[in-house]
Structure formats: C-alpha cells, structure tokens
Amino acid sequence: MLHVERGGNGPLLVLLHGLGATGEVWNDVVEDWHGSWLVPDLPGHGRSGRLDRYTFGSIAAAVAESIPQQPVVVVGHSLGGVIALTLASGWFGVDVTTCVGVGIKVRWTDEELEKAASLANKPAKIFDTKEEAEERANKMAGVKLAHGVSAVDGGWTPALDMKAFGVGRPDMPGLIMTSKAQITLAAGENDPMSPREHLEELVPEPVIFPGAGHNVHVESPSSVTGLLAQVATNPPSAASTAPVM
C-alpha cells in the first residue's frame, strides 16, 4: 500500500521522488502548481509498504494503482524519472500526456551496478537513536527528510528498503522510444549523475538548470515549476524539444 498525498483542483500533476527520498521533497513545487497534484512515497520508501522485488515495472505498477483515470502530467526525479517514463509507455493504464524526467542517471558502469546490488543485499542498519537513523536516511537521500526513519525492535532504522537499490539499469532509449507522452529530460548544471552530454544522447535539447545540483526540485523549486508551466501546455509534437533554461 502506498502512502499518497493529494491536493488542489484541476489538471493533475503526479510527482515521483528519487531513490532514498520521500514525497515530501516536492512540497515547495506543489505549492505553485495551478491544478491538482498527487505525490506518493514510492514502494519501500517513507510511509509506503514494501515490494517482494523491485523493478521499474513493479514500482510503476504500484504507483499506477493510485493514479485516477484522467490525463496527467508526470514528473520524476532520478529513480522517479525512470518510473515516470515507464508509466508514459501506457503499459500500466495511465494516460500520461507530458513526462518530465529530472536528474536521471543515464550511464551506469559495471562497478556502480555491482555496488548497488551489494547494498540491496545488506540488512538495514539499526541505530540506538532516532537522530542517528535520520542522519543515515538523509545521507542516502541526499536531502533532509521528515519521514525517513522507522522505529523497530532495538532502535531506529531508515525507512528505505535496502532491496530497492537492486532495481538495476534503466533502458532509457527503449523507454523514450515506447513513450506515448511528450518527453522532457532535465538536470541541474552541476549534477554529476546526469550531465548534459549524457542527456543529449537521448534528446536533442535537454533542459539545464543553471547553478543547480542533483536535487534541483529542493534547491530551486521555482525552476521546476517554471519548466512545468512551459511544457505542460506544449503540444505533443514538441516532445523532447523544450529549450535550455
């Protein structure tokens, strides 16, 4: 079962966070959205339940169950961006008209994949205090979280299910090819995980946010809302051609 926050009225915006984070990272973005919004904690994160196995498809299927049958704009950060693209395929019954992926890691080395698989096989660490667990959860998310830990027998632990690290390498060219939505890829100018040259291998004009790092939606939420105001009103023929900001 997913924990989902909802609000607003009008055109629906779905926002998907990255690995280790929770839906709360979008708080400052939804404040300026002109329509309605839906923000889940992804499976195995925050206040949501866990999955037996984490794949892009299994996560997308879980998210799709919470999205109503209507046209939606989906924005995802990092892992959430891959899930947004997966939903944009139409395979999960979600009518995605516009898909924005922010800070998606496109290139993966064998060493990086092995490290992620190793983390997925490690048991969650239990800390004596809530503060220690929060410090660990915030480090994994790359941002400060209010709902990143859980109480367990013996102390506190990050709420993130470590098995989620084993989700694997996304087939970005395949996801873009099968998308039925208008696609925009974006990243912070200083995002080491998603440099412009990597995104340019997939789309002709990725959106680059000046001065921002990996978590641009937290660092500069107005940049993200500005992009949404632009791409959410563009016709589908404009897919993948949003101008550089």
- Provide the residue-wise pLDDT of the chain in tens; the chain has 245 residues: 899 999 999 999 999 999 999 999 999 999 989 899 999 999 999 999 999 999 999 999 999 999 999 999 999 999 999 999 999 999 999 999 999 999 999 999 999 999 999 999 999 899 999 999 999 999 999 999 999 999 999 999 999 999 999 999 999 999 999 999 999 999 999 999 999 999 999 999 999 999 999 999 999 999 999 999 888 766 444 334 333 33
Amino acid 240 reads: S
3-state SS track over the chain: CCCEEEECCCCEEEEECCCCCCHHHHHHHHCCCCCEEEEECCCCCCCCCCCCCCCHHHHHHHHHCCCCCCCEEEEEECHHHHHHHHHCCCCCCCCEEEEEEECCCCCCCHHHHHHHHHHHCCCCCCECCHHHHHHHHHHHHCCCCCCCEEEECCEEEECCCHHHHHHCCCCHHHHHHHCCCEEEEEEECCCCCCCHHHHCCCCCCCEEECCCCCCHHHHCHHHHHHHHHHHCCCCHHHCCCCCCC
Residue pair 126/101 in contact (Cβ under 8 Å)? The answer is no
